[in-house]
Amino acid sequence: MKRIKVISPATSANLGPGYDIFGLALSEPYDIITLSKSEEGISISLRGEGADRIPEDVDRNTAGVVAREIIKDFDIEGGVKIEIEKGIRPGSGLGSSAASSAGVAFAMNELFNLNLSKLELVKYASLGESISAGFPHADNVAPAIYGGFTMVINYNPLEVLHIPVDFKVLVALPDVEVSTKRAREILPDSIPLRSMVNNVGKACGMVYSLFKKDLELFGRCMMGDQVVEPCRSQLIPRYLEVKERVRDLVYGITISGSGPAVIILPRGDKVSQVEEIIDEIWGCPLYNTRVGLGIQVLERD
Ligand code: HSE
């Protein structure tokens, strides 16, 4: 194989009580990533949503770092040309950098026939996340690679659990900048024991609900976070107003990752009413999507 082209999807991390643990792969939006073997070195070119804000320098680019580490660890001779068409806005809370890191880890594995497991791909992809977030959190790269719903239950060593699921998701992307660094800094260093008990209980409810296919329970528990979402809601203007207005139309609503994207689980026949409210309050892009399957190969030759 000389070339591979993949779709690498947006992901929604945290989902309320699952801070740095839960993640959900989405069908849309996504990046399209093409890797071609080259004589030597790593080159990166970017276009699409917010591409002008992403460095093309290998050591400062999340995808570049992943390719560099894989080439080093596997003594790969020759180089690779990476072309990324961004469909996921950087800094959106939709795992934009994770999509690039995970897509490149996946594509390198295929292109050079490395036989890496999904867990090993998550490890490589998380290296890229260190560059963008300052911490190798895996809660976006895991669902990008596994698809469905994932739980990063341990970081060292890395352990990921996966549950395939499928349901409808709306994602609103308000026009406001929220840096992940700032969104992490405003969180408390320690929390009361009762908040921990609450959040663990709600997280358990969410996992149980997936086996029972009970979206009502999933959404109610997703909205029960008493630690992260209450702090971060101040970073997204009118978020609390949107939450209040859509309350009876959705199973659940919360901040996606570190924001500003907001993930909404609409009740079956209420999608257009939710869309109207989002349009009225934020007038922002809104993805009417589903849980996705993770990275998919588009072409190989
Ligand atoms: N779990 C991370 C956070 C995701 O919430 O900071 C960053 O998108």
Low-confidence ranges of the chain (pLDDT < 70): 133-134
- Name which of 51, 39, 50 is nearest 2 in CA terms: 39
CATH of domain 168-290: 3.30.70.890
Domain locations in the chain as residue ranges = 3-164+291-300, 168-290
CATH of domain 3-164+291-300: 3.30.230.10
Gap between the Cα atoms of 135 and 229, Å rounded: 19
Is 11 annotated as catalytic? no
Gap between the Cα atoms of 131 and 135, Å rounded: 8
pLDDT the model gives residue 103: 98
The SS3 of residue 246 is helix
Residue from 140, 182, 229 to probe ligand 1 pocket by mutation (most atoms less than 8 Å from CB): 140
Q: What are phi and psi of 135, to 5 degrees?
A: -150, 130
Of 62, 129, 229, 289, the catalytic one is 129
From the CB of 91, is ligand 1 less than 6 Å away?
A: no
pLDDT the model gives residue 133: 67
